[in-house]
A and B are shown apart, each in its own frame.
Chain A
Amino acid sequence: QGLLRRSVSHSFLSFTSITGACRAIQKLTRVRVVDNSALGNTPYHRPPKCIHVYNKTGVGKVGDRILLAIKGEKKKALIVGHKMPGPTMTPRFDSNNVVLIEDNGNPVGTRIKTPIPYILRQKGEFSKVLAIARNFV
């Protein structure tokens, strides 16, 4: 299941105080990696967190690049969906979804099962990520 608040998924310890799930993605948001890369899917005792958003404002929306801290390493990622409601006619997901990416824009994983919004086709630099996506919304 997706990232349930206060639930044990990917075997990180249950902790007592948790901030309410934050809406758009900014520094220190816990995110959910949706591709089938090894880095994203192996369990670790800490959830992957955003440590920087490559944006003039520090808030990341769909299509923004962010820096993730996973398993003690830094990795760039692309935001493919967030809990914050966006403009009408755009989908709102129940979890903050992210796809791991290299510095040149190539995706790390080979398949993306979760639905991806069509808006990502607007910027031409993510064509390789969209090529591995299966479902679109």
Chain B
Amino acid sequence: RVSSDGKPEKFQPPPKPVIIDKQKQREERRFLSPEFIPPRGRTDPLKFYIERKDMIQRRKVFNIPEFYVGSVLAVTIADPYANEKASRFVGICIQRGGKGLGATFVLRNVIEDQGVEMCYELYSPRIQAIEVLKLEKRLDDNLMYLRDALPEYSTFDVNMKPVSHLDHEEVPVNKLQVRMKPKPWSKRWERPKYNIKGIKFDLPEKKMKEAQKWSQPWLEFDMLREYDTSKIEDKIWKEVSEGL
């Protein structure tokens, strides 16, 4: 290029390429499965340490992928009474409960207009494979309200293809607001005790105000209920990543 003087312009080096260091991003985003975090109590930490060793042993042999409440999973378990001795179930994870080796997760699906829920133990030797078909989070930790929601929100195709998810990206949050069947529901989901953000309540204003009567606003300031897990998590994360 020639500038207005007629002399050649000073050499401008090309702009530096932007390198997304995927390794670093993967390290920054770390996921510790919730069943590793011990519950608050007076039990000896030795019990949790031994359990964690067993959990790490099992994870070395069998891959338990990262998943959250709201992701769609397909689980194959060994069943002596099934054809080919293995049965596969696809569903959305509505709840993850239990700590340690007894950690469970519940999958829900609607098959032929019939809602079916299966509770699986994560560390059970009967489980042969866990695939994550769709990795995503929802607005709540507990999707039990899907039982009272319209069945279209719980139906998932049994032969659905896994949706690819890049390793370094953040887990997408599905801000879906679910429509419910007419009342009565199995639980009064509009009450503040459940703190549900993922339902589109079509109830009149009067009912919503009445539900707020049961709110306990002092609970979030209760210091005896505080359980800070950040330091415990850091320690356990180091232990787990060294083990695996």
Contact = CB atoms under 8 A, between A and B. Distances in A.
B81 A92 contact: no
Interface of A: 1-2, 4-6, 34, 81, 85, 88-95, 97, 113-115, 118-122, 135-137
A93 B115 contact: yes
B119 A85 contact: yes
B115 A94 contact: yes
Determine which residue in A94, A97, A114, A120 has the highest number of CB atoms from chain B within 10 A of its CB, and name it: A94
Contacts, number: 71
B116 A89 contact: no
B142 interface: no
Chain A interface mostly helix, strand, loop or mixed? Answer: loop
Contact of B126 (A4, A85, A89): A89
B184 interface: yes
B112 to A, nearest CB: 5
Contacts of B155: none
Contacts of A115: 111-112, 114, 116
Contact of B114 (A94, A118, A120): A94
A92 B184 contact: no
Contacts of A137: 87, 89, 111, 116, 118
A96 to B, nearest CB: 11
